[in-house]
């Protein structure tokens, strides 16, 4: 994952709280490409999918009482291949957004 993370785009996920409650807690979902985001390709293999499709795969996210934003790492990786350097970069990314969000989910 040796890519500068400062300028990664955030995708706002429309939720009920987004529309009705400006004080609802803000959560940042950091998509790493693990099992939750996998889809089956034409050869029957599981491969990571684009994080923009995550809300279609998990429509339940729209019902949560939070304001959600999604951020995808530029190089998706399964958790079984994550190295200590990757964990450090994830920690730095969370630190970068720490004051802007109320919570974080790493997928």
Q: What is the pLDDT of residues 8-65, one digit of tens each?
A: 777 777 776 776 777 889 999 998 877 777 778 899 887 777 666 666 777 787 788 8
Domain hosting 81: range is 19-106
- Within-domain flag for 14: no
**67, β-bridge pairs:** 26
Number of structural domains the chain divides into: 1
- Within-domain flag for 60: yes
Side-chain-side CA neighbours of 106 within 13 Å: the count stands at: 15
pLDDT tier, 7 (very low <50, low <70, confident <90, very high otherwise):
low
- Within-domain flag for 3: no
Handedness of CA 83, 28, 99, 6 (dihedral sign): positive
H or E stretch covering 105: strand 103-106
Mean of the pLDDT values across residues 83-88? 92
What is the rounded average pLDDT for all residues in the chain?
81
- Within-domain flag for 86: yes
Q: In this structure, what CATH number is given to the domain that contains residue 66? A: 3.40.50.1170
Q: What token pair was written down for 15?
A: 């939720």
The pTM of the full predicted model, rounded to 2 decimals, is 0.78
- Within-domain flag for 2: no
- Within-domain flag for 85: yes
By the 8 A CB rule, do 5 and 81 touch?
no
pLDDT tens by residue, 66-82: 888 888 888 888 778 88
């Amino acid at each position: 994952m040796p890519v500068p993370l400062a300028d990664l785009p955030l995708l706002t996920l429309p939720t009920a709280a987004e529309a009705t409650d400006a004080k609802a807690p803000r959560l940042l979902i950091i998509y790493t490409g693990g099992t939750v985001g996998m889809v089956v390709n034409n050869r029957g293999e599981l491969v990571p999918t684009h994080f923009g499709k995550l809300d279609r795969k998990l429509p339940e996210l729209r019902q949560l009482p939070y304001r959600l934003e999604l951020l995808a790492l530029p190089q998706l990786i399964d958790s079984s291949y994550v190295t200590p350097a990757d964990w450090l970069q994830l920690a730095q990314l969370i630190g970068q957004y720490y004051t802007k969000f109320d919570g974080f989910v790493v997928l």
